Amino acid sequence: MLQIKNLHASIEGNEILKGINLEVNKGEIHAIMGPNGSGKSTLASVLAGRDLFDITDGEILYEGKNLLEMAPEERAREGIFLGFQYPVEIPGVSMMNFLKTAVNEQRKHRGQDPMKSSDFLKMMREKKDLVEIDSNLTNRSVNEGFSGGEKKRNEIFQMAMLDPQLSILDETDSGLDIDALKIVAHGVNKLKSPENATIVITHYQRLLNYIIPDKVHVLYGGQIVRSGDKDLAIELEEKGYDWLRKETTNQ
Partner 1 sequence: MSIDAQSIDLKDRFADFFYKNLETLKDGLPEHINEHREKAIQSFQKQGIPNKKVEAYKYTDLNPAFEQKYRTYLRPKSIDFDLNDIFHCDVPALDTHVVLLLNGWYYEAKTPQKKLPNGVIITSLREAANEYPDLVKKHYNQYADPEKESLTALNTAFAQDGVFIYVPRGKTLDKPVQVINLLMDEEDGMSQHRNLFIMEENSHSQVVVCDHTLSQRNFLTNSVTEVYAGQNAQMDFVRIQNEHNGSTQLSNFYLNQERDSRVMANTISLHGGLIRNNYNLRLNGENCENSTMGLYLTDRGQHIDSYVHMDHAYPHCRSNQLFKGVLDDYATGAFNGRILVRQDAQKTEAYQANNNILLTDDAKMNSKPQLEIYADDVKCSHGGTSGQLNGDAMFYLRSRGIPLKEAQLLLMYAFAHEVIGEINITPLQDRIHELVEKRLRGELSRCNYCQMHCGDAGKN
Residues that bind partner 1 (CB under 8 A): 48-51, 71-73, 75-77, 81-82, 84, 87-88, 90-93, 97-98, 101-102, 105-106, 109, 141-142, 158, 162
State in angstroms the smallest separation of the CB of 90 from partner 1.
5
Q: Please check whether residue 211 is in contact with residue 42, taking contact to mean a CB–CB distance below 8 angstroms.
A: no
Strands 14-24 and 2-11: antiparallel
How buried is residue 231: exposed, middle or buried, by Cβ count under 10 Å (0-12/13-18/19+)? exposed
Cα–Cα distance measured from residue 229 to residue 196, given in angstroms and rounded to the nearest whole number: 19
Q: DSSP readout, 207-229?
A: GGGTS--SEEEEEETTEEEEEE-
State in angstroms the smallest separation of the CB of 108 from partner 1.
9
Nearer Cβ to partner 1 (82/216): 82
Nearer Cβ to partner 1 (98/241): 98
Nearer Cβ to partner 1 (97/139): 97
Cα–Cα distance measured from residue 99 to residue 110, given in angstroms and rounded to the nearest whole number: 17
Nearer Cβ to partner 1 (29/159): 159
At residue 171, φ and ψ (nearest 5 deg) are: 50, 45
Residues with Cβ within 8 Å of 237's Cβ and at least 6 positions away in sequence, in order, are 205
Nearer Cβ to partner 1 (24/95): 95
